[in-house]
Amino acid sequence: MHFVDEVTIHVKGGDGGNGCVSFRREKYVPKGGPDGGNGGNGGNVILRADRQLTTLLDFTYRPRYQAPRGEHGRGKKQDGKWGETLVLRVPCGTVVRDADTGELLGDLTSDGQELIAVRGGRGGRGNAEFATSTDQAPRRAEGGKPGEERMLHLELKLLADVGLVGLPNAGKSTLISVISAAKPKIADYPFTTLVPNLGIVRVGDERSFVVADIPGLIEGAHKGKGLGVQFLRHIERTSVLVFLLEATRPDLKGDYAILLNELKSFDPQLLKRPRIVVITKMDVVSGKLEKAVRRLSFGRSAKPHFISAVTGAGIKDLVSAMWKLVARQRDE
């Protein structure tokens, strides 16, 4: 499946039905009065969050949507049927804005949450509504009002408790495959991950949290280099950041500084999130190099975790540390 996390669509509410001009004419009824019914209201267009969806792909195939119009009024004071509501399903985490003004219309974060994107037009009144003591045979009725319409910009931001951040090939995909049931593509070349992956990590029988594997950042990602700028928005939702650094790299502190700078350049608030530093691929270093790596410190962050997703070393302690921070954030 292709991952699409940003799209612009056109939505229009259904037009209202016209009111009816009609007069009652029945045998043995000497004075039939006006009996034109009202037109029905047009249908609304509603966006509904659905946790089963993970992409906005379907909207790229069909970018225009219009709800059904209301039926016209009829004689015998029969009002027209209202147009049905058009429901568009979007993934949980979809931010909805007016594409022309940039106004935030809604943030659909929970399953089943709804937003009325545009309303249908009101149905026109039939001539029966205009009868008065001085005008007992009105020959006028209202036309239905057009439905609202607007361009919507939909932006998907993944909902996850923990975001895995690292340079390409730092081991993010391997880690998420070990601690959750997610099965991302894994290979030994940069940018293996072309879309964010979500995995549920279980801590005991009733506790769990969601981890997002964000595609690799490179220096200059916030300016559009590499893949990072396309997916940095997904880090905004996470409450805990886990920085993965590859043990075999020549300058781990430099790599860490690059990651911090990219996040700061995208959104300075990200640096206020709780963070964990993890040194990956410890199974391939030994001797003096291993000792040098284990002596490293990373500023305000607590002592780094040293892991090997291949051998499983340090994984249990890392998951426990993630859970502690997630639980604390949830409490706050």
pLDDT for the residue numbered 31: 63
Strands (E) across 120-274 are located at 149-156, 162-166, 197-203, 207-213, 240-246
Strands (E) across the chain are located at 6-12, 45-50, 64-66, 86-91, 94-98, 104-108, 114-118, 149-156, 162-166, 197-203, 207-213, 240-246, 275-280, 305-306
Neighbouring CB atoms inside 10 A of 253's CB total: 12
Distance CA 36, CA 25 (A): 12
User: Which two three-digit tokens encode residue 167?
Assistant: 């340079």
Structurally, at CATH architecture level, domain 162-331 sits in: 3-Layer(aba) Sandwich (3.40)
Ranges of the chain with pLDDT below 50: 1, 184-193, 221-222, 225-228
pLDDT for the residue numbered 234: 72
The CATH number assigned to the domain with range 6-156 reads: 2.70.210.12
Domain boundaries, the chain: 6-156, 162-331
Q: Which of 220, 221, 326, 217 is nearest to 276 (CA)?
A: 326
* Residues 27 and 82: beta-carbon distance below 8 Å: no
pLDDT for the residue numbered 217: 65
CA angle (252 as vertex; 298, 245 as ends), nearest 5: 90
Q: What sign for the dihedral angle of Cα 87, 110, 241, 267?
A: positive
Q: Same topology for domains 6-156 and 162-331, yes or no?
A: no
pLDDT for the residue numbered 49: 93
Most distant CA pair in the chain, distance: 110
Q: What is the mean pLDDT of the chain?
A: 84
Distance CA 135, CA 150 (A): 40
pLDDT digits 0-9 by tens, 159-199: 788 988 888 877 888 888 888 865 644 444 444 445 677 78
Q: What sign for the dihedral angle of Cα 289, 295, 298, 302?
A: positive
pLDDT for the residue numbered 279: 93
* Residues 127 and 141: beta-carbon distance below 8 Å: yes
Distance CA 32, CA 92 (A): 56
pLDDT for the residue numbered 1: 44
Burial 95-113 (b: 16+ CB within 10 A, else e): bbbeeeeeeebbbbeeeeb
Q: What does each C-alpha distance from 213 to 14, 57, 81, 133, 279 come to in angstroms? A: 41, 20, 49, 73, 16
